[in-house]
Amino acid sequence: MGIDVQQPWFLLLLIPAAWVIAAWWRGQRRMPNSRKTVIAAVRGAVFLLLILALAGTQLLHPVRAETVVFVVDRSASMKDDPRVYAFMRDAVERKRAEDQFGVVAVGADAAVDQPLTTRREVQPVGVEVNRHATNLAEGIRLAAAMIPSHARGKIVLLTDGLATHGDAAREAKLAAERGIAVEAVSLQQPQGEEVVLTAVQVPERLYAGEEYAIKVDVESTTATRATLRLYEGNREAGRQTIQVEKGKNRFLFTQKALQEGFQRYRVEIEPERDTVQTNNQAHAYTQVAGAPTVLVLEGHPGAAKNLVSALAAGSIKADVKDPSLLPKALDGYKRYASIILADVAATQLSDADMERMRTAVRDLGVGLIMTGGSDSFGMGGWLQTPIEEALPVHMDLRGKEDLPSLGLMLVIDKSGSMAADAHGVDKMELAKEAAIRATSMLNRQDQVGVIAFDGTPWEVVPPRPVTDLDDIHRQIGGIFADGGTDIFPALQMAYERIKTMQTQRKHVILLTDGQSGRNDDYQGLLQQMTGENITVSTVAVGDDADTALLEEIAQWGKGRYYFAKDATSVPKIFSKETALASRTFIVEQPQVPTRTGGADWSALRQPLPPLHAYVATTPKQTAEQLLTSRDEDPILIRWQYGLGRSVAWTSDLEGKWAPDWVAWPGNSRMWNEAVAWTLPQVTTGRWKAETRLDGTTGVVTVTVPKGEKLPQELEAVVVNQEMKREAVRLKPVAPGTLEGRFSAAEPGSYLVQITEKTGGHVTASETAGLTVSYSPEYGLPRDGDSELRQWLAAGEGALITSPDEVFAGRLPAKWDTQPIGEWLLMLAALLWPLDVACRRLQLPEAWWTRLAARFRRRGSAGNAGHPSVFARLGEKQEERRRGRAARREAEAADGAGQAGTAAGKSASAAAASPAGMPLSAQVPGSSLQGEAQSRSGAGSRPAAGAFATDSAAAEQTDGGKAQADSGKAQADCGKAQADKTGETVNRLLAAKKRRQK
């Protein structure tokens, strides 16, 4: 046990505290020394406690327990080695009861698998980390953070030593500086013959028809034959049979650029002798200059026929595809300059397709055009989708109160089967999202109700106007999946509730994923509903739904039937069905649009033909309307979205709604100008961009030609295969060179859009790509044991082999601290009332004397090491004590003399004379005067009583004369004693004055 002071400078306050107590002692001349001693001791203790609390006094005691954190390498190269768990289990079984341990899993990042515990049970590591890389430095850092500063700590790594990034040696050294030992268990994995395709090099820019060479680098640990294949996109462009030698190899493909735009190349190798196939492919990107190509998606065959003809007349290439054939990678969209959606419904695209398309427009500068039709805009279920975000219009109708009112009743299955399916899709959450989207499309004059059902119906939202959407959405969000399925009672309740709605149109949407009994009279109920102009549509989710019954319900209810094999399409179906039920989105009013902008499009300066119908939308605030309807709805509208541009044409292309526009002479020019406006408008930068992989970090480098100034602002937007976006500011690293770094730990494609800005406007842009073909864990085999020993030695670590060495007790000693500042303050607070009591309470002097004597004995016992000083102090105290005793004797004698004088007349006269008075009583202001007078008075009272008694006896008896003579003799004796006592007191007063001088 020991004592530690965190801020020892505060101990200097003991000096002024001692001075304050000493000054107080000197100023208290009237107070008896015994009381002053007690008060000074109490105040000294209070000052000492307060100063020790300010100084941060704490107790120290040795730490005996050990704290060990296991850092388990869970990267792909470890292959979930079973030796890891066996080693930890055996080590934990050997620990003492007070020892504690924890477990950290590490891959590309680190995570705590088991917090610190003293139990003897260890579980297999189960926390998931990114296994495509190994960052042992991050694992050591996290493990060190788990170990308390006062603990005897140790970090034990179980790894093969093959770190792909991070400085493990540095982190081990930092841990050692904190007093934490670092040890490792080398778990090397068996290595076989390995062939690795390390790189593919393609020229960054090509021209259509240009011949070029593709370089392929291969490394191998053995000599073997192999087949090498080259793919341009998904098309095989070349094949070779090669002989791979041990070490580094390079092979060439000679190709001719046939397709314009951004191209991706993939090379695969098939060796005869190999262990891991994951590292047998690599990718590269290039830009082939040529005429731009437009991707045209048709919602149904022939939807864009007239548009394609118009573009062909303007020499713009169009690639017409069905929405199901959309590219499944982002780089596939970069091949096209613009994308056109011709009467395409949202249900024809997956959410991932929409996200890729939106990202291509915003971050890669690809254009986007949507044209109208019965399956487009709000009619196609595009509300609250990524495509709506990219377009210049909102899909719902805002600020229009004169539309026909709609009463909508949503009947949603909440049975247990609506929970997450085998693919992890929560159908209940999607159904709630669908209901929220449907209600968001309604106007304030509309009404809505929601019923959820399992075995029995539950009225979630009673029929109410759509005035407080937040409250309606909150009620919908409270639905949870549970119970069975019974459709008829829910449908019957919906009929009873929707009848009460005072709206012009009434519609019910029924959604379920299960089976229900057919014994109920569905047809009779639906005939009653249609008889009151209430329509019913149904949505079947998944193959388990009773599709036959739902199709019949939709037929009897004069509605529409939808089959959603993919539950993610349910929200789009609800949006589309709500739009169809309202019948307010399609505006059928023959009219000639009004020109409101687009002076840069020459076709719009010609006389415009009439159109018969369009889909109503709401323009976004910053969009530019080129053509508007009589009701000020947008017909042709455009805007800038990120790096790309988008256009919306709300009428159709086939001629059903706008036949005069198809025959209009300016139609071809207008569409060529619209598509050209969406093409990338910025030029390629004068700089050269390159990308490379540094461990798990992607590096983009921009080199400016010699003599050119550096760009004012250069930024790279990196989009990975999961559509996650990262903006990287490029900074100068060398003359004429700028560089930026981004995370590339996951295998896949990374598209890098580099933009140069001047004054906030984009002046140049270029697209580059980086592909991480396989995890660094699958690279060419290395000597992990040697690397492990090197960084352990640099970090003062050690290599262990046995579980017995984990809790071996060889850690350096450490002390644990326990602050006692609060206890010191509490004790000082308890002593303070004692100080007040000592000053205020009037206790007998004998009590103070005994209490002061106790303090003196304790003080003398505690200071036995200085006998000379304290001996002198004791002599002075003894001298003072003797003086006080002498004064008391003199006062007693003086009292006796006064009593004798009172007994006889002559004696009393002699005792009252000044010569018989003690000298101390004649000294004005003397401290002894008061004491002498008080004690003299106290002593004279019994003498006076005796004199009165004797006088009475003398008057009553004849022996009074003899008694008078005796009193005279006593008076003479008392006078002599008084004279002697006065001389003694005078000597004491003189000695006191000398000491004071």
> What are the pLDDT digits (tens) for 198-213?
989 988 888 777 888 9
Q: Which among 402, 400, 396, 403 has a CA at the least distance from the CA of 436?
A: 396
Which residues, in sequence order, are CB contacts of 700 under 8 Å at separation 6+? 689, 690, 691, 716, 718, 728, 730, 739, 740, 741, 742, 752, 754, 768, 770
Q: Which among 334, 423, 343, 410 has a CA at the least distance from the CA of 375?
A: 343
- Measure the CA–CA gap between 800 and 820, rounded to whole angstroms: 41
H-helix or E-strand spanning residue 223: none
The Cβ of residue 69 has, within 10 Å, a number of other Cβ atoms equal to 27
Cβ–Cβ under 8 Å, residues 805 and 183: yes
pLDDT for the residue 950: 39
pLDDT for the residue 928: 34
- Measure the CA–CA gap between 273 and 192, rounded to whole angstroms: 10
pLDDT for the residue 977: 54
Angle at CA 129, nearest 5°, toward 124 and 135?
105
| DSSP symbols for 795-858 | TT-EE---GGGTT-S-SPP-EEEEE-HHHHHHHHHHHHHHHHHHHH----HHHHHHHHHHHHHH
- Measure the CA–CA gap between 408 and 918, rounded to whole angstroms: 119
Structure tokens at 364: 């890669």
Q: Which among 825, 624, 731, 752 has a CA at the least distance from the CA of 331?
A: 752
- Measure the CA–CA gap between 387 and 370, rounded to whole angstroms: 9
127-154 confidence digits (pLDDT tens): 989 888 899 999 999 999 999 988 889 9
Q: Quick check: helix, strand or coil at residue 761?
A: strand
Strand ordering across the sheet containing 367-371: 317-321, 293-298, 338-342, 367-371, 644-649, 634-641, 624-628, 594-595
Q: How many helices (H) and strands (E) does the chain have?
A: 25, 43
Q: Quick check: helix, strand or coil at residue 775?
A: coil
The Cα-based distances of 974 to 570, 810, 919 in angstroms read 126, 89, 16
Cβ–Cβ under 8 Å, residues 395 and 377: yes
Cβ–Cβ under 8 Å, residues 333 and 356: yes
Angle at CA 508, nearest 5°, toward 507 and 513?
150
Cβ–Cβ under 8 Å, residues 60 and 817: yes
Q: Which among 636, 624, 623, 645 has a CA at the least distance from the CA of 366?
A: 645
Q: Specify whether the backbone of 925 is left (phi greater than 0), alpha (psi in -120 to 50) or beta.
A: left
Angle at CA 43, nearest 5°, toward 38 and 49?
130
pLDDT for the residue 908: 38
- Measure the CA–CA gap between 473 and 471, rounded to whole angstroms: 5
- Measure the CA–CA gap between 379 and 300, rounded to whole angstroms: 15
Q: Which residues of 104-143 are buried (b: 16+ CB within 10 A; e: fewer)?
A: bbbbbebbbbbebeeeeebeebeeebbbbbbbbbbbbbbb
- Which residue has tokens 């309604």? 442
Spacing of C-alpha 112 from chain mean position: 16
Question: What global pTM score does this model have?
Answer: 0.67
- Measure the CA–CA gap between 76 and 417, rounded to whole angstroms: 36
Q: Which residues of the chain have pLDDT under 50?
A: 861-871, 899-964, 966-971, 973
- Measure the CA–CA gap between 101 and 806, rounded to whole angstroms: 10
Q: Which among 771, 699, 767 has a CA at the least distance from the CA of 288?
A: 767
Roughly what angle, to the nearest 10 degrees, separates helices 547-556 and 522-531?
Answer: 30
The Cβ of residue 456 has, within 10 Å, a number of other Cβ atoms equal to 11
